[in-house]
Amino acid sequence: MNSQYVLITAAKDEEACIAEVIQLVLRQTVLPLAWLIMDDGSSDQTAEIIQKFAKDHPFIQIHSAGSRGGRNFGSQYKALQAAYELARQFEFEFIGVQDADQAPEQADYYESIMDEFHRNSLLGMASGFVYERSQGIWECRPSNSKDSTAGSTMFRRACFEQFGGYIPLEYGGSDWLAQIDAKILGWEILTRPDLHILHYRPTSSAGGLWRGKFRDGMMDASFGSHPVFEFFKCCRRVTNAPFFMGSVLTFAGYLCWNINGRKPVISEEKVQFLRKNQLAKLRRWVWPFSSIARQT
């Protein structure tokens, strides 16, 4: 099997961390065939920093996605799709979506992920666990889940092309939709808790933490997330930073979408698939306390 892979990245105003991200990729035991970075209209020194590394490492290619206004999810995933179109010229088996504000901690991160693909021909997507810095210490993000990839994800090329790649969405969730599409098509998903992805910007903090939490709820509602599952999920995360208010704002965003009568942005088939999986997950959460769950 071909072990070559390419990386694609959308970068916008990442001068604070992009150099460290590149350095951690450069120390990988297996380097990518090509790393296509789309500068998504940065107004800082992001492009200049990338260009300096590209001079010494020809596999790094920086391209301009043009000016697309402020930071937003739709723009990010359009840039990633543009990067993938450029990657098609290469012969590769796997593709890694390397976020510009995330980096693999272990030097064998991508090699280890590719080993998982070699072991399981049905594996379509895989990633490690996201770690975020709190008071100078890298800690496992509480929302990490073994049944959902997070952060910088690697795909089998056949899987990525079968579901058509990323679809830009106004409230985010393009990576979430990719997982739903992959599962519906029969592909398996894997996360490795022992492989760490360092996230330099706290989750949902772009544009302000409180706004980000409210947007998270809007995103969940835009996918048709089951109301019971959404309530329990917010309750489970009430102790996660920023604690109570973060969960309240997430659920408020979910309610706002539904109160206004807005419909899910994904197909009914995908909504039902998502809700079926959410209810199964909910039963696992309450298993120790529910006699009903033990019978299902």
Give me the CATH number covering residue 77. 3.90.550.10
If asked whether residues 38 and 181 sit together in one domain, one would say yes
pLDDT at 77: 86
> Has residue 47 been placed in a domain?
yes
> Has residue 219 been placed in a domain?
yes
Range of the domain at 48: 5-199
Total domains in the chain come to: 2
> Has residue 123 been placed in a domain?
yes
Predicted model pTM = 0.86
Q: Which of 199, 222, 246 is the last residue of a domain?
A: 199
If asked whether residues 76 and 183 sit together in one domain, one would say yes
Q: Which of 199, 233, 260 is the last residue of a domain?
A: 199
Q: Which of 143, 167, 199 is the last residue of a domain?
A: 199
Question: Encoding tokens for residue 113?
Answer: 């992920």
> Has residue 177 been placed in a domain?
yes
> Has residue 287 been placed in a domain?
yes
3-state helix, strand, coil in the chain (%, to 5): 45, 20, 35
> Has residue 204 been placed in a domain?
no
Beta strands in 119-263 (DSSP E): 123-134, 137-140, 153-156, 188-199
Residue 223 has pLDDT above 80, yes or no: yes
If asked whether residues 225 and 147 sit together in one domain, one would say no
If asked whether residues 265 and 133 sit together in one domain, one would say no
pLDDT at 106: 97
If asked whether residues 173 and 225 sit together in one domain, one would say no
Structure-derived torsion over alpha carbons of residues 24, 29, 35, 39, reported in degrees to the nearest 10: 0
The rounded radius of gyration (Å) of the Cα atoms in the chain is 19
Over residues 71-107, the pLDDT tens digits come to 455 678 889 999 999 999 999 999 999 999 999 999 9
Q: Which of 121, 183, 119, 130 is nearest to 153 (CA)?
A: 130
End-to-end CA distance of the chain: 41
If asked whether residues 136 and 187 sit together in one domain, one would say yes
